[in-house]
Amino acid sequence: MTANPLRLKSIHHVTFLVGNAKQAAFYYRKAFGFSQVAYAGLETGRRDLACYALQQGTARFVIATPYRPDTPEADHVHRHGDGVFDIAFHVESADEAFHAAVARGAAPASAPRELRDEHGAVRHAAIHTYGDTIHSLYSDLDYTGPFLPGYVAKPVPGEGVGLLRVDHMVGNVELGQMEHWANWYSDVLGFSRYISFDDQDISTEYSALMSIVMSDNSFAIKFPLNEPAMGKRKSQIDEYLDFYGGPGVQHVAMLSNDIEHTVTRLRENGVEFLNVPDSYYDLLPDRVGEIEEELEMIRRLRILVDRDEEGYLLQLFSRPVEDRPTVFFEIIQRKGSRGFGKGNFKALFEAIEREQALRGNL
């Protein structure tokens, strides 16, 4: 396996296809503290999509809505609801990355092309990954504009909540497909298996899942892949696949360096999180040992804590951010740990099952 054969640099942005981009962009500004930096739409000469580019820290989201019903993007929204369509990469050369990916087994989504406006040009291409998700590949030529060619600066400042960047993004795939897509990320992108969890690691009395975490060679881009495992009842992965209409991105984990501040602000802004029972916090000191944060604060904000041999982490998971029980967000702060909160899996799964039961989907 060649390390980084596509010469990936970073996640350039994440595109969400939604039913109403204007309202969704407002939500991400007011609830999650993103700032709007640019816009593309009818007023700028774009006839297919209305696109709002948002940023907080180095994390950039594009919130996009198709104008017409007879387009692939409209079909995506119809079948999946609001969801992640494109996890776009910044690469050294979009042309070379695209041809390398296709040679290594990727299905092409968009051949290399130049995007240009008065601020310069970029090269763009795209490949398919699981479900209807794609990976765009962008390389700069001489671009100096506010975001990408076709966008105009339309700044609307948000009150940031301390989100720094995307830590990882989790994909849900069908039973029996996790190994296939793990191999795809290894063969095509040169990722390696960072860690894996089986149904003994992630299970409750009723349901279970399995997961493999794929990472680039710098550990800056991490993509866990989940599939359902056999259980007495429907797992959260089964519920997602049912309501999303197939595989897709389950959640986006956002890194913070002060989770108390971030979660406090998010709760004040109306973001809803999964509830964790008091019994979890009664056992926490014995399970994780000494931590720098006050346990009263951890309990009050319902934050989860886990420790491994490298340190510990703090995390909390939102409820789904749309009406379908699909995409949600994780807030994570790392205190040395590079893991994913294995010790919290049971508490997290049980919290999700309580939500599933309320929805009649357990």
pLDDT tens figures, 166-203: 999 999 999 999 999 999 999 999 999 887 655 455 55
Tens-place pLDDT, residues 271-311: 999 888 888 888 889 888 999 999 999 999 999 998 889 99
Beta bridge partners of 222: 215
Q: CA-based angle 208:212:218, to the nearest 5?
A: 150
Give the range of the structural domain holding residue 230, as residue numbers without chain letter: 163-359
* Number of other residues whose CB lies within 10 A of the CB of residue 358: 10
Q: Say how many domains are in the chain.
A: 2
Same domain for 196 and 322? yes
Q: What is the pLDDT of residue 19?
A: 97
Angle between helices 345-359 and 236-244 (to 10 degrees): 50
| Cβ neighbours for 120, distance < 8 A, ≥ 6 positions apart | 141, 142, 143, 144, 145, 149
Same domain for 184 and 133? no
Helix/strand/coil for 40 = strand
**The whole model's pTM is what?**
0.93
Helix/strand/coil for 114 = strand
CB contact burial 130-153 (16+ within 10 A = b; e otherwise): bbbbbbbbbbbeebebebbbbbbe
- Mark which of 117, 138, 156 sits at the end of a domain: 156
Q: CA-based angle 197:164:90, to the nearest 5?
A: 80
Q: Whose structure tokens read 């795809």?
A: 184
Q: Pinpoint the alpha helices (H) of the chain.
A: 21-30, 72-80, 94-103, 178-189, 236-244, 259-268, 278-288, 295-301, 345-359
2 inside domain: no
- Mark which of 137, 156, 175 sits at the end of a domain: 156
Same domain for 167 and 152? no
